Amino acid sequence: MTIRVLLADDQALLRGTFQLLIDSCDDLEVVAEAADGAQAVDLARRHHPDVIVMDVRMPGTDGLTATETICADPALAGTRVLILTTFENDEHVARALRAGASGFLGKYVTTDALLEAIRVVAAGESLLSPGATKALIAQFLATPPPGTAALPPTTPGIRELTNRELEAMKLAADGKSNDEIARELHLSVLTVRTHIQRAMSKVGARDRAQLVVLAYKNGLVTPDPGTI
């Protein structure tokens, strides 16, 4: 099945380069391009892409504001947002996670890494390195947005997880990939993916990034002080 991609970046040359790269792959297709956040929201609602590659800094509506709007729209529940930006800082990453973005990459990544990132995000997985995941989730929990009420100690659905689903969720929160979890639990990658998907469904997580956040919020794992 072809993964449908929307590109949102104010640089036309960069969009054109990304389009040529993405369209060169048999399993990927660019369905629309946006020059700012407002266009990205409009085109997302029109085309319902699988993945939006979103820049942060754009004129008018920025990429993070657009991400918040897109991820809050029930009609776009099947659309994942991959933040791709020159400006990698904790504030942007934390806000992107809060908004519901599934990944965050710097524009220094290789072409192969970008293509693989689109595929990973489309599959419902998050795209943050283990070290970045620990540090950023810890900061996310320590500094919730102003006016945000604290979640209850136990998220509904946590108690419904099987032991294997709980183990898989903890290891995902530790920054491990499905391949690494499979090796650690002596399971197939397909079985691990099933456990992760069932855990996401039970706790109401939109994607793997939110599953990680909930693991920290519910005390299933604790941040390593050395990563903060």
Burial of 25 (0-12, 13-18, 19+ CB in 10 A): middle
Identify whether residues 145 and 75 lie together within a single domain. Answer: no
Confidence of residue 209 (pLDDT cuts 50, 70, 90): confident
For residue 179, report the phi and psi dihedrals to the nearest 5 degrees. -60, -45
| Domain CATH number, residue 189 | 3.40.50.2300
Average pLDDT of the chain to the nearest whole number: 83
pLDDT reading at 149 higher than 50: no
Sequence-distant (6+) residues with CB within 8 A of 200 are 124, 206, 207, 208, 210, 211
Domain that holds residue 49: 3-127
Q: So what's the pLDDT on residue 228?
A: 42
> What's the CA angle centered on 5, arms 12 and 202, to 5 degrees?
140
Tell me what percent of the residues of the chain surpass a pLDDT of 90. 47
Question: Is the whole-model pTM more than 0.85?
Answer: no
**Among 127, 151, 173, where does a domain finish?**
127
Tell me what percent of the residues of the chain surpass a pLDDT of 70. 82
pLDDT reading at 150 higher than 50: no
Q: So what's the pLDDT on residue 75?
A: 95
Q: So what's the pLDDT on residue 108?
A: 76
The highest-confidence range among 29-43, 185-199, 204-218, by mean pLDDT, is 29-43
Pick the more confident residue, 59 or 94.
Answer: 59
Beta-carbon count within 10 A of 225 CB: 7
pLDDT reading at 154 higher than 70: no
Identify whether residues 99 and 17 lie together within a single domain. Answer: yes
Identify whether residues 195 and 169 lie together within a single domain. Answer: yes
Lowest-pLDDT range of 8-22, 28-42, 143-157: 143-157
Identify whether residues 57 and 147 lie together within a single domain. Answer: no
Give dist(CA 50, CA 207) in Å, integer: 13
Count CA atoms within 13 Å of residue 150 on its CB side: 9
Identify whether residues 123 and 144 lie together within a single domain. Answer: no
pLDDT reading at 224 higher than 60: no
Confidence of residue 89 (pLDDT cuts 50, 70, 90): low
Number of domains in the chain: 2
Q: So what's the pLDDT on residue 90?
A: 60
